[in-house]
Structure 1
Amino acid sequence: MPVRKTIVGIDSPEALERALGSAQYIADEGLATAAYLALALGKPLLLEGAPGVGKTEAAKAISAVLGRALIRLQCFEGIDSAAALYEWNYPRQMLAIRQAGERSINIYDDEFLIARPMLEALRHPETSTLLIDEIDRSDHEFEAFLLEFLSDFQISIPERGTVRALERPVVVLTSNRTRELHEALRRRCVYHWIGYPDAAREAQIVMMRASSVAQATAEAVVGAVGRLRQEPLSKPPGVAETVEWAEAATLLHQGGATWPAAFRRAIGVALKDQDDLMFLQGRLDQVITGIAA
């Protein structure tokens, strides 16, 4: 079984936490520990949580810290192995056959192979990070196929033979928990649940991502978003929406809008569902109470 080489410079969860901070991602102790153990043990990292809590951003930050290219496999209903592994470029093969005439030609050469994310990760495990995003959106058949890949880190191409990773790839899976994942998949991973950050950490994130926003404004916006998340909304705002709301309102304020009006007018970057907006109609001022410059 392939092994993963030691990750240079990251010898503890604390070291990884500091490195993620330098990559503009504020991780808590739990996430830093889970990510460190996944890297050290050569296991995939499974990040689960509500949409917008920073799961995909965590994968991007981990890849950046490692100095690797991020290879992203976006899952969707009906995804199959061809979309994840490889396909043959049939039109190009047919053209090559016609142009070859009497000459022999290998139509299964690399020039006719379209590598998809999982094959790319196997070919370049030392320079890439494979992100399998929103695995819960795929069906059970694809999840079962993924089990074999995560066990052996190899695939079989009938026309070419077996492609095996020389070392364990860095793999991060994310799930919004729209359905339960199979227990066999969970056993192969180091698991971590990412919840919404506490107010102090979310304000830190806003200040890190939006340098034009004042500290007091960031704290007030975080408080307002916290109140929104307590409402029975179909799509509560995630961390990215918190940052965008603070940025958008600050932009409107710089253009002359007063603070309450600026946040009210920019609500479309925080809430992106008409039913949610209608539900809060008439009560939005209560949510943004206390927001000031």
Structure 2
Amino acid sequence: MFQAILITKDDSGYQAGLQRLDESQLPAGDVLVRVSHSTLNYKDGLAITGKAPVVRQFPMVPGIDLVGQVEHSEHAGYQKGDWVLLNGWGVGEAHWGGLAQMARLKGEWLIPLPAGLTPQQAMSIGTAGYTAMLCVMALERHGLQPGDGEIAVTGAAGGVGSVAIAILAKLGYRVVAVTGRTEDAAYLQSLGAAEVLPRAQFSAPGKPLAKERWAGAVDVVGSHTLANLCATTRYGGVVTACGLAAGMDLPATVAPFILRGVTLAGIDSVMRPRADRIAAWDRLARDLDLDKLATISQELSLSQVIPLAAELLQGRIRGRIVVDVNR
């Protein structure tokens, strides 16, 4: 028997609760993992509260991240005792996820826990940090270098934004944090932000083209914020888009792209090929100041997750939430 958060939907409605389950209830997979830590992400908050149709089948254990030790494996790449981690692949949406003490998964979804990272550190990074690194790698792939100019990071006090700031600052970029919570300015500056701007400057409808400022950007907000970033990005700059906290719409014109040669790079972390995942996590172990993780993250027990999910969706949670599923 093991503890898990289980989401159900029946005639009595949509419910999420902490329950004791039997190993035989786990879905099919060729690797059984004894979970050490998971996380609470925006998508998990949507799943737990039912605020959006994230869960595609019921019952469901949420949790798009997990790290743990292999208990049993029928996959050639893993054996009992190996430490592994997982991000995405529809886990927590279509396949039982990490907010549980046990998980049965497909071995192809897993990667080894990188050397130099503890399980707790890996989940302090989690999907948010892994996505942030994919954004940084995309900026680099398009030729961006620290001397090219300022990088804007929106949703700066959230998980993706916090890790992106820390990575970019360590790599030598001048980072400008854009946030709806300017009271977190000292926190953002401690991560490496050189300047903090209120999101209100970006969230209203703007001009198709505005004064050039950004060499690049990491955006998790979407909607008018993303449109305004594109409109103010310098000639040849790169904007990475990985989120939709303000909506799925993009009320923009083609002007930045055809008159300034701006690149809008979409970042998917859910179905990313294994090689890209390993490369991103190796970079995280090397290019993220791990000492900053204590500032970025807070740790909860499994029983504290459900009450906090709604607060996360309301933008009241700073940084990363790590869940010790055995506490």
TM-score of the two chains, using structure 2 as the length reference: 0.23
Which protein has the bigger helix share?
A: 1
Choose between structure 1 and 2 for higher RCO, CA contacts under 8 A separated by at least 6 residues.
1
